[in-house]
Amino acid sequence: MKKYEDLVVSVVSLMGDAYDVGFQQSKEIQSSAHLVQDELLLALSATCNAQEAQEALQYVSPNLLQEIKGLASGLEQSYESVIKMYSGYNMTFPDMGCTSFVHDGHYVRNYDFSPALYDARLVFSNPSEGYASIGFSQQIIGRLDGMNEKGLVVGLHFVNNEWEGDGFLASTIVRILLERCKNIEEAVLQLKKIPHRYCYNYSMIDQSGKVVVVEATPTEQIVFEKHSFMCTNHFESQELKEKNKASIDNSIQRKRYINHFVANACTTAMSAFQYFNDGDSPLFFKQYKEYFGTLHTVVYSPNQLEVIVGIGENSEPLTFSMHQFIRGELILPTTIKGKILQAI
């Protein structure tokens, strides 16, 4: 008989200047839930040079640098160690999987990884400088996916870590785009300015309805503009195919399943959520021990500025309004709970 365990995601609301935001988050990190993760981050950040990370962040996002200073102050740790652990600069990270689908103005996504390295945080952020956003965090500072107040939606898709350069993890890059860019044009320009650590796809939609996938390596970024898209974990351009992992069968198969879904199912935001979140769906994975289990399902609707969220499988969806959050009218739950298959 299958055994399930609880997956509890904290819902966090952050406001103020960048330093204050960092200081607020330091209190979360001090909780027991993050102590083990800190040990992992120390190991993963061994190759990071704090001075290089600071110089790179000063160029691409001074606000994030101030946030890290707030973190360091609240944690009463050295600035050097905190920037190494949380900036995402020149870090190593295990493979992860992500499947995204955009159609009729809705962006739906499953994030597949291990609960051991999952922040389990849905962050509502309204900084005094930069755009407000809603998104799932990674390493506190970064975002796995998110939508900002201008309707720009961005998600990351791991491709390969065998081709590496001096630069930031994709989660830091997604955070920078959400906070600094109001549309895809600005996001694509910003992507070309940021140094990239590994090979990732970035899937995006904005309020105009424009949809792109950016294939990004440490040395090159290729932009595909589409009416709708299915994005998984491999490059499709002839120029970058050689940067794919040796085996991409799973990634290709997921795209085939989505094509079938587009042809045979309705494409409302809620029906898309239910298809992705169904524990029996070919897009829902349960290999948590192998770092490939679905942790959350999310639908971002940039025209309505609404987000549908579900944790684990067959979850009860919750809908949040960006408009209400910005106006201070949104009453947020403390946590969102779901069930995932127990990794044995």
pLDDT at 39: 55
pLDDT at 28: 87
* Residue 16 pLDDT > 90: yes
Is-contact 285 189, C-beta < 8 A? no
Instruction: Enter the pTM of the model.
Output: 0.94
**Tokens encoding 154:** 């961005």
pLDDT digits (tens, 9 = 90+) for 167-225: 999 999 999 999 999 999 999 999 999 999 999 999 999 999 999 999 999 999 999 98
Q: Tokens 């090979």 belong to which residue?
A: 199
User: Rounded distance, CA 57 to CA 83, Å?
Assistant: 10
pLDDT average, residue stretch 30-34: 63
pLDDT digits (tens, 9 = 90+) for 40-50: 555 555 677 88
pLDDT at 71: 95
pLDDT at 261: 65
pLDDT digits (tens, 9 = 90+) for 304-336: 999 999 999 999 999 999 999 999 999 999 999
Answer with the residue of higher pLDDT: 235 or 151: 151
* Residue 56 pLDDT > 60: yes
pLDDT average, residue stretch 222-239: 86
Confidence label for 35 from pLDDT (cuts 50, 70 and 90): very low
Per the prediction, the chain carries an average pLDDT of 90
User: Rounded distance, CA 82 to CA 121, Å?
Assistant: 19
Q: Which of 192, 186, 228, 223 is nearest to 210 (CA)?
A: 228
* Residue 37 pLDDT > 60: no
pLDDT average, residue stretch 1-14: 93
User: Rounded distance, CA 131 to CA 177, Å?
Assistant: 10
pLDDT at 103: 81
Q: Which of 27-31, 151-155, 269-273 has the lowest mean pLDDT?
A: 27-31
Q: Tokens 């689908």 belong to which residue?
A: 101
* Residue 118 pLDDT > 60: yes
pLDDT at 36: 44
Domains of the chain, first to last: 4-15+94-341 (3.60.60.10)
Phi, psi angles (nearest 5°) of residue 340: -130, 155
Percent of the chain scoring above 90 in pLDDT? 70
Is-contact 174 142, C-beta < 8 A? yes
pLDDT at 148: 98
Is-contact 154 138, C-beta < 8 A? no
